[in-house]
Structure formats: C-alpha cells, structure tokens
Amino acid sequence: MTDQSYNFAYLDEQTKRMIRRAILKGIAVPGYQVPFASREMPMPYGWGTGGVQVTAACLVPEDRLKVIDQGADDTTNAVSIRKFFARTAGVATTERTDEATVIQTRHRIPETPLTPDQILVYQVPIPEPLRFLEPRESETRKMHELEEYGLMHVKLYEDIARHGQIATSYAYPVRVEGRYVMDPSPIPKFDNPKLSGCPAIQLFGAGREQRIYALPPWTEVVSLDFDDHPFEASKAAHDCDLCGAGHSYLDEVITDDQGTRMFVCSDTDFCAGRREAGHQGRLWASQPEAAE
C-alpha cells in the first residue's frame, strides 16, 4: 500500500525529472560522472542515498524491486530500502534476481546473469577513481577531459611494488569503451567481468558526492592492468559449503569459538536457488541443520 503523504517513490516529480536527465546524460556518455543536485533522503549518507535517488527516478508502478547489500537481501540496510520503496511507491518486491525489474545493490553484482529488461542501480560512496592520488577536483576533471589516466596505473604500480601483485580487490578501476576511467563502486574485482557486455542498464548513484554515471547495455568495460600483471577476477579457492557452487563469490564465515570456517555464496538468492534445484555443498550435505 502506498503511503499517500508522499509522492510516488518519495521524490517530487521535478526532482525525479532532474535525476532522469542526469541518468540519460550518463547513458549517453558511458562512464562520465554527471553532477546532480542530490536531495536529502530520510536515511543517512552511507546508506545508499545516491542509489535510492536513482532507483526512485527509475521506478514505475509495474516494477518489481530487489535490494541487495553485499549479496544478501536480508541485511538491515537492504530490508529498510526495500520497505522504503514498498511504502512510498507501492511496488512489488522480490529477493529473486530473475524476477526483479530493478535491482539496487551495494557491493555486489548478482551471480544470476542479468537480462535486457532489468536495471541495476549501484550505491557509490566515492565516484572519483583518481581521488586516491589526486585530491583536487579541478585536476581530476581535467584528467578525465584530456584522458590523462597515467595516475591510475601509478596506483596499480604501487600495489605491485608493495604487495608483489595488484592487491586492489574492491572498487577495481575500469576503462569504459576505451574512454572514461570509472570506479565500479566497491564491488569485489571478481564481479568486474560482469560489468562488461551486460544486457541490463547499469546506473551508479553517489549521494554525498552528487554524481551519477552509467553503463548502457552491452558496454565494453575493461579492468586496468599491466601486460606482465594481467587482471584476475579472483575469489577464495573454495566451493560454496552450502550449494557447492565453484564459480560464485564466497564469504568466509566463522562458525564457532574454535575458529571453524565455512565458505558460502555471498549472493544468498543464488545460493538458495541452487539448493532448491538440488545442488548440495560440503556442509549442507552432511549436516543441513548445522549449516542453517
């Protein structure tokens, strides 16, 4: 039921139009950070106010919304954003990737391949990939304008010099269609390959920093690397202990005081779907009640 004291999806129509213009511009110039006038939202920054505003501008009454936080649908953050839109927009919600039309996410791309009729909205804390080495906004703008991206490789160089390999494992920088260098938000680099050639529209919203950027469907996205230190979409060298998946991103979970560990899919919907389909992991097979 829609709460009638709010406009559909909380934001007023004029604000949504302004955000949609920024989104369209972002789609027209893939990877380019479009400034927008971020609004106060009834939740703190860091809770995805940028993503929430983008989602609000995209939603129509027929949509089915999924919200994930680090792969899970049931964290406080994900639950409250889902409730927020159920209340202010009255849209249906789901935990299933293949049923959703709009997915708002923090820190993950779903394992289930996305489709052309879906929109994936990322919550972005720091949109500027060059910020780490060049704090001056005037200078980073110029670098994007003139495609001066040597600094990005300096960051990777420093990684290798210090750790023997590219240690950046989240928010791994990418080049979009050979033009803009982009921060994919703090997704694990395991997810980077899914950014490229994706059939869904991918939108990125940074609330505090007031930036929106986008990847239209089928955009080429390349992770930066060196010839002799090529990009690797790494993950823990285990299978999921619940569903047995060997190719999904895993969280490490400590299960008791003795430090016993298990590895489980970070994408809870994907994991549950596999178990429903009869797949079994090491712990699920032996003692399902313990794993639960």
Partner 1 sequence: MTVMENISALNTPLLQVDGLTKRYGARIGCADVSFDLWPGEVLGIVGESGSGKSTLLSCLAGHQTPDLGRVRYEDRDVLAMAETERRRLSRTDWAYVHQNPRDWLRMGVSAGGNVGERLMAIGGRHYGQIRETATDWLGRVEIASDRIDDRPSAFSGGMQQRLQIARNLVTSPRLVFMDEPTGGLDVSVQARLLDLLRGLVRDLGLSVIIVTHDLAVVRLLAHRLMVMKSGRVVEQGLTDQVLDDPQHAYTQLLVSSVLQV
Task: Give the residue numbers annotated as catalytic, written as ranges.
Answer: 31, 240, 243, 265, 271
Nearer residue to partner 1 within complex by CB, 24 or 154: 154
Nearer residue to partner 1 within complex by CB, 60 or 154: 154
Question: How far apart are alpha carbons 232 and 67 in whole angstroms?
Answer: 27
One character per residue 70-89, x = contact with partner 1 (rule: CB under 8 A): --------------------
Restricted to residues 188-247, the positions that interact with partner 1 (CB under 8 A) are 225-229
Neighbours of 66 (CB within 10 A): 24
Restricted to residues 124-143, the positions that interact with partner 1 (CB under 8 A) are 133
Q: Are 57 and 20 in contact (CB under 8 A)?
A: yes
Nearer residue to partner 1 within complex by CB, 150 or 178: 150
Restricted to residues 143-182, the positions that interact with partner 1 (CB under 8 A) are 146, 148, 150-151, 153-154, 157-158, 160-162
Binding-residue total with partner 1 (CB under 8 A) = 17
Per CB under 8 A, 45 contacts partner 1: no
Nearer residue to partner 1 within complex by CB, 148 or 220: 148
Tell me which residues touch partner 1 (CB under 8 A): 133, 146, 148, 150-151, 153-154, 157-158, 160-162, 225-229
